[in-house]
Amino acid sequence: MKKLISVLGIVGLMFLVGCDSSDKNEAKAEAEKSDKVLDVKVIDDGSGHELIDFQQQVLDDAKRFKEFYTSRRPDVDPADFNNGVYAIDSAGREQWEEIEEFPPYEFAVDEGKQLFEIPFPNGQKYSDCFKNGGIGIRQNFPYYEVKSNRVVTLELAINDCRVLNHQQPYEYGQGDIEKIAAYMSFTSRGKKFNLSVPNEAAYNAYLAGKKFFYSRRGQLNMSCENCHMGAFGKMLRADMVGPAYGHTTSSPIYRAAWESIGSLHKRYVECNKNVRAKPFALQSEEYRNLEYFESLMSADLTINGPSSRK
């Protein structure tokens, strides 16, 4: 805990000291500098109205996000950032590669395949709910569904399929739903994310996720950015802090600490709890928007889930 506080002490100090208004103005200028999403790109469609080019905004953000990591670790192949902390932690990597030779998620993938293939009582199957029969499509998630005005994650789509076929939705986070997700991800390995920001509502969901990522919370008053950017590559107790670029490619993960396969949102809960913040519900709007933001920031990486972690 001491180390954790010392890593972030400097950032904390900046906040404690910032009492008079000139400091506040400086802090505000700093914040604006780092939040370049404020320089809005417009499209001239000839009508005299200015339209914001949402997709371009996000691409610009993603370019800066990636550069943050690649400029700090030019020795790492940028495509390798889909391996999380193992892209930068050479000691941990060796052990991880050994584990991946007999991957602990193998049973989950096999069971997921069986669950995926069993028809519902009405004769319909999961494969009827998804494009391409659900095979090799994980890279299309999360997407913004315009008709329902929400970010649809893979897990949400699996449960939507169940409800459509008069089945109880699964509980989120672990168990059968993550086994099915593991199987579907496995069939999508090596595919690049294929994501988009179709309209203003989608862009707002993206911005909500972005805001979540940069907002301080909890008793420790820390944001995702404080650790996964500010302390990137540093040690927090026994753990090296990995990049957020690539956070969403390898889910679901088999975590030794969980002794089972679990979801990305389950990890979000842990990271929220680690700063003593109240976590949100799995698959809540907040976490789905956060996943949308993190995925769009990692959109030029390839899917490699499921994966194993400590």
Stretch that binds ligand HEC, among 14-22, 61-69, 103-111, 267-275 (CB under 6 A): 267-275
Neighbour tally for 22: CB within 10 Å: 8
Pairing between β-strand 150-152 and β-strand 143-145 as defined by DSSP bridges: antiparallel
Pairing between β-strand 235-236 and β-strand 307-309 as defined by DSSP bridges: unpaired
CA–CA dist 308, 252 (Å, integer) = 9
87 binds ligand HEC (CB under 6 A): no
CB of 174 to ligand HEC, least distance (A): 15
C-alpha radius of gyration, the chain, whole number: 20
Active site residue 271: yes
- Identify the residue among 76, 115, 207, 271 touching ligand HEC (CB under 6 A): 271
279 binds ligand HEC (CB under 6 A): no
Q: Which two tokens stand for residue 225?
A: 């950015």
143 phi/psi in degrees, rounded to 5: -125, 160
Q: What is the DSSP string of 237-255?
A: TTEE---STTTTTS-SEEE
CB of 277 to ligand HEC, least distance (A): 8
Judge residue 189's burial from the number of C-beta atoms within 10 Å of its C-beta, 0-12 exposed, 13-18 middle, 19 or more buried: middle
- Identify the residue among 267, 286, 295, 297 touching ligand HEC (CB under 6 A): 267
275 binds ligand HEC (CB under 6 A): yes
162 or 228: whose CB is closer to ligand HEC?
Answer: 228
179 binds ligand HEC (CB under 6 A): no
- Identify the residue among 153, 159, 174, 226 touching ligand HEC (CB under 6 A): 226
CB of 44 to ligand HEC, least distance (A): 36
228 binds ligand HEC (CB under 6 A): yes
Cis ω before 243 (30° cut-off from 0): no
Per the CB < 8 A criterion, the answer to whether 69 and 307 are in contact is no
Residues with a known catalytic role: 271
Contact residues: ligand HEC, CB under 6 A: 4, 84-85, 222, 224, 226-228, 236, 239, 241-242, 247, 250, 253, 264, 267-268, 271-272, 274-275, 290, 309
